[in-house]
């Protein structure tokens, strides 16, 4: 098992948002966290990435406890985040946004370098000297994914990676993610676009009021329209 989350409880200040979340991700597997806004999806991935210290529960990456560890430790172990809202560094150029995250890890697949990221997203190669804030939404999204790839992760977490993008750009992002999946990269995807997720992911976890309300494969999710009605507001 690549990632195991057991009975995760977390929140902000005194208010709890997660009441015992449990899920797991296998090597090379793509899973989704789906559910309405404010149900705890982002809180869950923030806890996994080390951006939020959990109140209780366990998070294991390759069997190693990572809950409560600093974000840069978690990143160096091989978990990369494409954050909600993209959060490109506006005061760094496109090149710098990529290079700052660069990290070579000895073991594993063919490493992601600046050249490989630029081959993967040729649009970024044309805008290397631009400031991070001068990019379009789609370009920023490519940069956010490229930046995460530069850390050479084994698990990529995408929080609302297609939000607010034009349909054509969204398709391009999904195609790119397909190509990443084909390299054997495991992913956790949070997204509203259920149709795309069903075709893309292996398993799904429905997050409802800080708990996992349903789990199953894409086939099971398609087969049971009541789940979509009950939890996804479709």
Partner 1 sequence: MLILEQTLNGVQLGVMLFLIASGLTLVFGIMNFINLAHGSLYMAGAFTAAWVQGVSGSFLLAIPAAVVVTAALGAVLEIGLFRRFYARNHLDQVLVTFGIVLVANEVTRIVFGPVPLRMPLPPALAGSIEIVPGLPYPTFRLVVLIVGLAVAALLWAIVMKTRIGMWVRAGSSNRPIASAMGVDVDLVFAALFAVGAALAGLAGLMAGPILAVQVGMGEPILILALVVTVIGGIGSIKGAFVAALMVGLVDTFGRVLLPPALGSMAIFLLMALILAFRPKGLFPVHG
Using CA atoms, how far residue 81 sits from 188, 211, 229, in Å, is: 10, 22, 30
Using CA atoms, how far residue 185 sits from 17, 18, 29, 112, 153, in Å, is: 29, 27, 7, 12, 8
Angle 202-203-207 from CA coordinates, rounded to 5°: 145
Contact set for partner 1, span 156-195 (CB under 8 A): none
Nearer to partner 1, 49 or 66 (CB): 49
The verdict on 148 binding partner 1 (CB under 8 A) reads yes
Nearer to partner 1, 81 or 135 (CB): 81
The verdict on 215 binding partner 1 (CB under 8 A) reads no
The verdict on 96 binding partner 1 (CB under 8 A) reads yes
Q: Considering CB under 8 A, how many residues would be counted as binding partner 1?
A: 27
The first and second tokens of residue 71, run together, are 């974000």
Query: Least distance from C-beta 59 to partner 1, angstroms?
Result: 15
Count how many Cα atoms sit within 13 Å of the Cα of residue 88 in the half-sphere of its side chain. 27
Query: Least distance from C-beta 218 to partner 1, angstroms?
Result: 29
The verdict on 99 binding partner 1 (CB under 8 A) reads yes
Query: Least distance from C-beta 232 to partner 1, angstroms?
Result: 28
The verdict on 201 binding partner 1 (CB under 8 A) reads no
To 10 degrees, the CA torsion angle through 11, 228, 6, 37? -10
Binding mask 49-88 for partner 1 (x = CB under 8 A): xxx------------------xxx-xxx---xx-x---x-
Nearer to partner 1, 128 or 230 (CB): 128
Nearest to 195 by CA among 216, 175, 176, 222: 222
Residue pair 140/124 in contact (Cβ under 8 Å)? The answer is no
155-159 and 186-190 beta bridge pairing: parallel
Query: Least distance from C-beta 193 to partner 1, angstroms?
Result: 24
The verdict on 137 binding partner 1 (CB under 8 A) reads no
Residue pair 206/215 in contact (Cβ under 8 Å)? The answer is yes
The verdict on 91 binding partner 1 (CB under 8 A) reads yes
The first and second tokens of residue 136, run together, are 């379009």
The verdict on 104 binding partner 1 (CB under 8 A) reads no
User: What is the contact surface with partner 1 in residues (CB under 8 A)?
Assistant: 49-51, 70-72, 74-76, 80-81, 83, 87, 89-92, 96-97, 99-103, 147-148, 151
């Amino acid at each position: 098992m690549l990632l195991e989350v057991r009975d995760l409880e977390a929140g902000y200040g005194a208010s709890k948002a997660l009441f015992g979340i449990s899920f797991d991700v296998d090597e090379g597997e793509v899973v989704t966290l789906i559910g309405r806004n404010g149900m705890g999806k982002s809180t869950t991935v923030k806890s996994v990435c080390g951006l939020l210290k959990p109140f209780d529960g366990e998070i294991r990456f390759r069997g190693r406890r990572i809950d409560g560890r600093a974000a840069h430790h978690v990143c160096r172990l091989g978990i990369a985040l494409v954050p909600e809202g993209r959060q490109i560094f506006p005061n760094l150029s496109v090149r710098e946004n990529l290079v700052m995250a660069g990290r070579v890890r000895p073991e594993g697949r063919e490493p992601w370098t600046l050249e490989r990221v630029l081959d993967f997203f040729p649009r970024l190669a044309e805008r290397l000297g631009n400031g991070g804030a001068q990019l379009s939404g789609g370009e920023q999204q490519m940069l956010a994914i490229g930046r995460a790839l530069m850390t050479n992760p084994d698990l990529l977490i995408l929080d609302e990676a297609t939000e607010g993008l034009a349909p054509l750009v969204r398709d391009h992002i999904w195609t790119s993610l397909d190509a990443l999946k084909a390299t054997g990269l495991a992913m956790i995807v949070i997204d509203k676009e259920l149709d795309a997720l069903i075709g893309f992911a292996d398993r799904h976890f429905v997050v409802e009021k800080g708990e996992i309300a349903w789990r199953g494969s894409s086939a099971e999710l398609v087969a049971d329209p009541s789940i979509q009605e009950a939890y996804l507001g479709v």
